[in-house]
Chain A
Amino acid sequence: MSRNSAQWRSRPKLPATHYADPAIYADPDLFAEEKEKIFKKVWWLAVHESELPNPGDFRTYRHPGDARLVLVRGEDGKVRSFYNLCPHRGNLLVYTPSGNSKNLVCIFHQWAFNGRGDCVDIPREKAGYQERLCKNDVALKEVRTEIGFGGFVWVNLDDHAPPLASEIGAALDYMLPELEAEPMETLWYYQARLATNYKLIHDTNSEFYHDYLHLYNRLTGMLKPDSGYFQRKYTAFPGGHASVGSMNVSYESYKASGRGQLGWPKLAPNGWKLVDLFPCITFNLRTSVLRIDTYIPLGPDDVIYEFRVLGLKSDSARIRSQREKDSAVIWGPFGRNLHEDLLASSGQGIAMARGSEPMHVLQAREESATIHDEIGMRHFLAEWSRRMGRSSAEPYAIERVSTRAA
């Protein structure tokens, strides 16, 4: 029987941990609060070190905390991150997403900065500033930067945040042997701007009940009793992170998979490991490539989805090509699965847009933490609630209480 408005708006008869208020996916005020309490506090995976291999190499990164950053490998080989902003008049220092330059030179007035962020040249410095201002006063603003977990470069806007290792904890331990087996390099990087909430796309990596969306995953896993698909288990880690246990993917069950026998060092043949990091980073290792999903939330219904595929630095051209072929079957703009994931999460963004009176979002499946259990989403939202100081099931409860008190 269909529901009337009151029934539609009523809370599910479930524990508050098992559903979310749709406002957390659409409310601009909650999004602004997420920016302050989450995005500006956590470590973000900005780039992979292979994207700036040589001294003088730089890469830009649009930080979800509204900061435009530039990551630079200095002459000393160290990667540092700075605001991509000239301290003179606030112009962008770097206009291209990557490049190599001994110094970063602002096009506006030619102020120059080295790979340590030091100002090394101010044209006609003494003539204009005499002794009142010097190069030491106008260095770049540096952002905390660490490299780890397979050569990824992580940044954090919060000078007082705990170190990267303590934030990740043991969440990536499960994949570390594969991540550290050999130096990696980025083979694909692209972005897709989508009209949805970042949490909704991240959910497609946090629950696999949605494998009903993917013919490929049904044929190569769900419908193969011997694959271990239904035995895959979630492991939750402090901080909202979670990993998903491996299985034996039956690639031959999807004709036209085009897949070779390449595999990945230390990953079992046909294995599949996945780790989700709070708030929206996913390490996804299967076939012969490592896929990294990261997000740049721009608004409650606006997100830049960043997609990377990595292979090994030691790969020959032939092997690199095979890795790209393996990846292209299910991932990339033409892949079978990724297109379906983005269709579904974008559909959620359309259907649950602000003002559309959406229902409460269910994450109530309990199956002993196995693959169709929605514990991954619940674990994520528990951390979200902790950081926000609001229940994801009833995010306005505090405000209502304070209003009543007043």
Chain B
Amino acid sequence: MASNPTRSDLEELVYRTCERLDEKDLAGFLSLCDAAFTYKVTAWAPEIRREMTWLDRGRAELEEFFKMLPKHNTDPNPLARHAQVTRVSLDDAGGRAEVTSTVQVFRTQLDGGATKLYAIGKYFDTVDCSGAAPRLLARHVRLDTRDLHWGTHLPI
């Protein structure tokens, strides 16, 4: 049964993905995603005039990736993703939606609590609306920021 989502439903999906990632609840993030979910992070490098793909993974690969995370040394300082949906387009049949959001990511130092802007970019989301609830089918994070300091192991 198609969910026939409203714009508000789709906005809420995007914001919930941000909340799950902010909480480092990677299983919760994947619960909002379709079985065929793909995730990609790209950035344009003006130095070499080329689009760089810094992550490109399917759901199964992401699940394995996430399982290994607790065993790694990783930045303990939390990231906070502030997204704002700017455009929503539903296909004629209502089975799929394209949702574009601007996103700002902030990093807060655990020691002292100072917050700094970490990255800006856009989410280009494809949402499957054919089921009971809309689910994320693909997320393409296109970053404007390329200096990501010491980096992160987490999806942005």
* A interface residue numbers (CB < 8 A to B): 50-51, 59, 96-98, 186-194, 213-215, 254-256, 258, 321, 324-325, 328, 332-336, 338-340, 342-344, 346
Contact between chains at A334 and B151 (CB < 8 Å): yes
Within 8 A of A (CB), among B111-140: none
Q: Are B54 and A328 in contact, with the CB atoms below 8 A?
A: yes
Tell me which residues across on chain B come within 8 A of A187, comparing CB atoms.
50, 52
- A254 to B65, alpha carbons, bound, how many Å? 10
When chains A and B are docked, how far (Å) is the Cα of A214 from the Cα of B71?
10
B 50-73 binary contact with A (CB < 8 Å = 1; else 0): 101111110001001101100111
Q: Are the CB atoms of B53 and A321 closer together than 8 Å?
A: yes
A130 to chain B, nearest CB (A): 42
Report the separation of the CA atoms of residues A336 and B49 in the bound assembly, to the nearest whole angstrom.
Answer: 26
Select B47's contact among A189, A214, A332, A333, beta carbons within 8 Å.
A189
Q: Which residue of A lies closest to B56 (CB)?
A: A325
A342 to B75, CA, bound (A): 10
Given A192-B150, A255-B64, A258-B61: A97 in contact with B56 (beta carbons within 8 A): no
Q: From B4-12, B20-28, B38-46, B85-93, give the one contacting chain A.
A: B38-46
Identify A324's interface contact among B46, B56, B75, CB under 8 A: B56
Partner of B52, one of A255, A324, A335: A324
Residue of B nearest to A216 (CB): B72
Q: Number of contacting residues on B, CB 8 A?
A: 34
A-B contact count (CB 8 A): 108
**What is the bound-complex CA distance between A340 and B47, given in angstroms?**
25
A328–B39 Cα distance when bound, in Å, is 13
10 contacts between A and B (CB under 8 A): A98-B49, A189-B48, A192-B147, A256-B64, A256-B67, A256-B68, A325-B53, A334-B54, A342-B150, A342-B151
Contacting pair A333 B46 (CB below 8 A): no
B103 nearest CB across to chain A (Å): 15
How far is it, in angstroms, between the C-alpha of A190 and the C-alpha of B148 when the chains are bound?
Answer: 9
Which of B47, B64, B73, B74 has the largest number of chain A CB atoms within 10 A?
Answer: B47
Instruction: Decide if the interface of chain A is mainly helix, strand, loop or mixed.
Output: mixed
CB-based nearest B residue for A51: B48
Contact present for A333 and B148 (CB under 8 Å): yes
B149 touching A256, Cβ below 8 Å:
no
A190 touches B150 (CB 8 A): no
Are A213's CB and B73's CB within 8 A? yes
Closest residue of B by beta carbon distance from A48: B48
A190 to B65, CA, bound (A): 24
Distance A133 CA – B143 CA, assembled complex (angstroms): 48
Report B-chain residues with C-beta under 8 Å of the C-beta of A258: 57, 61, 65
List B contacts of A344 (CB < 8 A): 73
Q: How far is the CA of A321 from the CA of B51 in the complex (A)?
A: 11
* A332 with B151, Cβ < 8 A, contacts A255-B64, A324-B53 known: yes
Cβ–Cβ contact B48 & A343, under 8 A: no
Chain A residue contacts of B54, Cβ below 8 A: 188, 324, 328, 332-334
Select the residue from A193, A255, A343, A344 with max chain B CB neighbours within 10 A.
A343
Contact A194 B150 (CB under 8 A): yes
B16 interfacial contact with A, CB 8 Å: no
Do A193 and B147 form a contact, CB below 8 Å, given A215-B72, A334-B54?
yes
* Cα distance A50–B61 in the bound complex, in angstroms: 32
Q: Is the CB of B67 within 8 A of A339?
A: no
Report yes or no: B153 in contact with A328, Cβ–Cβ below 8 A: no
**Chain B residues with CB under 8 A of A336:** 68, 72, 153
Are B53 and A340 in contact (CB-based, < 8 A)? no
Which residues of the partner chain A approach B155 to less than 8 Å between Cβ atoms?
334
In the complex, chain A residues whose CB is within 8 Å of the CB of B41: 334
| B75 pairs with A339, CB closer than 8 A | yes
Shortest Cβ gap from A356 to chain B (Å): 15
Q: Are B149 and A194 in contact (CB under 8 A)?
A: yes
- The answer to whether B68 and A333 have CB atoms under 8 Å apart is no
Q: In the complex, A333 Cα to B43 Cα: how many Å?
A: 11
Q: Are B53 and A343 in contact (CB under 8 A)?
A: no
Name which residue of chain B comes closest to A342, CB basis: B150
How far is A340 from B73 in the complex, measured between Cα atoms in Å?
Answer: 6
**Once bound together, how far apart are the Cα atoms of A342 and B153, in whole Å?**
12
CB distance from A166 to the nearest CB of B (A): 29
Given contacts A255-B67, A256-B65, contact A190 B46 (CB under 8 A): no
Judged by a CB distance under 8 angstroms, whether B31 is at the interface is no
Cβ–Cβ contact B153 & A339, under 8 A: yes
Q: Are A192 and B52 in contact (CB under 8 A)?
A: no
Question: Which residues of B are found within 8 Å of A59, using beta-carbon distances?
Answer: 47
Known: A98-B48, A339-B151, A344-B73. 8 other contacts (CB 8 A): A187-B50, A190-B146, A190-B147, A194-B149, A254-B68, A255-B64, A321-B56, A340-B72
CA gap between A338 and B75 in the complex, in Å: 12
